[in-house]
Structure 1
Amino acid sequence: MHADHTRPVLAVFDFDGTLTDRHTFWRYMRFIVGTRPFWLRIIPLLPKMLSVILGITPLMQARLAFIACYLGGLSVEQEREHARYFISEQLPLWLRPEALRRLKWHQSMGHVTALVSNSPENYLIPWGQAVGFDYVCGTRLATARNKLTGGISGANCVDGEKVRRLKGCVGNLEDFYIYAYGDSSGDEALLSVANSPFYRNWY
């Protein structure tokens, strides 16, 4: 499908499973606390995980329990340092070369690019800026008194929230010809506003 060249082009990418070949947030939490403590702390969370599998507890609600368990009380400075190392040591191993090529193609064409993901902005923003995204939106981890509270600020950046956050960055979406790239049900709202939606493919 060819872009409408009477409008500027906006290319929007999901992160986990789209630009990467796996989910990154739980691996980020494991990276912070260490492998053994991570699996030990998960034991009390197993009933909640089962509840998600059985369809009793919403996934995003369970996700909050993980954030509280692994990140609550961590200082902002400590978490920022963890993010810096995670970006340099872990993320490069999981990036999809074909998806990065697609991003670079959009950038070479002068298209506006946005990264919109449910992963936390704590590592999305520095990584996204490093690879040249114009806008980066993610879930915001809440802080108070220079520590992570273990909660989030605002809504999880998923489903319709992805579209709302994108509008907050670029304004009226109808002003753009939109390419959108996603891989899950959490991207459906974003893909639905695209002129050229790509679900689990980059071509």
Structure 2
Amino acid sequence: MNLAIFDLDETLIAGDSATLWLNFLAGRGLVSNALLAQDRRMMQDYYAGTLDMPAYVALTLAPLEGRTTAEISRLAAEFITHHIAPIVYPEARQRLAWHKAQGHRCLIISATGEHLVRPIAHYLGVEDAIGVQVEVVNGRYSGRPEGVFSFQQGKVVRLGHWLRDHNVEPDFCYGYSDSSNDLPLLEHVDEAAVVNGNEALNAIAAERGWQQLNWTLKKQP
């Protein structure tokens, strides 16, 4: 069995799902402008490779505290319909379809919380997904993370856990990402592809013979 592993944000979709989600919640009065401003500052650190991941996870999960899993599921479904569906790269859909046609298993691994990653993956027709684990107590989110963050080397660690837990031993692994933060994952797979990479990541891709893909959203008529 072959396995195709995809990053989510800026790889399958033209945006960051966690930031879009916070803005979506802000539009319903569930998130403050101060939190949005802090998210913008932290995203600058993310792109610079200096993100304090525990602090970022705490920030993005804070709006979940005390809310039921059913409420978040309803909000996530609305969010996906109106804010994620329009920004899925057509080439991403085509690549997912190609892997499925070859009989490959597809897996999405993201540093975003699993409360978003799983339903977005389901929308994309991908059954298997890994995101930052979020604690649930008596049917309500605590706002606290659990386990290893699926970020940087943590993606490789979480992938190992997933392979063990699902009793999967792939013969060959493909990997797709836009981010230098995913270098550990891209180096781990058998065939890596950089999607819309920056100059530094594209230089690494060229040096190592990785695919360089340029995916765009179709222009509206």
Give runs of aligned pairs for residues 6-21 of structure 1, distance below 5 A: 8-21=1-14
RMSD, matched Cα: 3.1
Is residue 188 of structure 2 the alignment partner of residue 193 of structure 1?
yes
Does 1 or 2 have the higher relative contact order (CA < 8 Å, sep 6+)? 1
Question: What is the aligned partner in structure 2 of residue 73 from structure 1?
Answer: 66
Question: What is the aligned partner in structure 2 of residue 100 from structure 1?
Answer: 93
Answer yes or no: is the 8 Å Cα contact 1:33–1:70 preserved in 2: no
Answer yes or no: is the 8 Å Cα contact 1:135–1:169 preserved in 2: no
Instruction: List runs of 5+ in structure 1 lacking aligned partners.
Output: 1-7
Is residue 130 of structure 2 the alignment partner of residue 114 of structure 1?
no
- What is the CA–CA distance in structure 2 between the aligned matches of 1:105 and 1:114, rounded to whole Å? 14
- Give the TM-score of the pair, scaled to structure 1: 0.80
Instruction: Mark the CA change 1:130 to 1:152 in structure 2 (over 3 Å): closer, same or farther.
Output: same
Which AA in structure 2 matches 1:193? H
Instruction: List runs of 5+ in structure 2 lacking aligned partners.
Output: 196-211, 215-221
- What is the CA–CA distance in structure 2 between the aligned matches of 1:134 and 1:84, rounded to whole Å? 16
Cα shift readout 1:61-112 (whole Å, capped 9, x = no counterpart): 3313413543322222211111111122211111111121111111111111
Query: How far 1:15 sits from its partner (Å)?
Result: 0.2
- Give the TM-score of the pair, scaled to structure 2: 0.74
Instruction: Mark the CA change 1:35 to 1:130 in structure 2 (over 3 Å): closer, same or farther.
Output: closer
SS of residue matched to 1:19: coil
Answer yes or no: is the 8 Å Cα contact 1:10–1:177 preserved in 2: yes
Count of residue correspondences: 194
Q: Which of 176, 181, 188 is 2:171 aligned to?
A: 176
- What is the CA–CA distance in structure 2 between the aligned matches of 1:41 and 1:177, rounded to whole Å? 45
Q: Which of 166, 175, 181 is 2:159 aligned to?
A: 166
SS of residue matched to 1:90: helix
Answer yes or no: is the 8 Å Cα contact 1:24–1:119 preserved in 2: yes
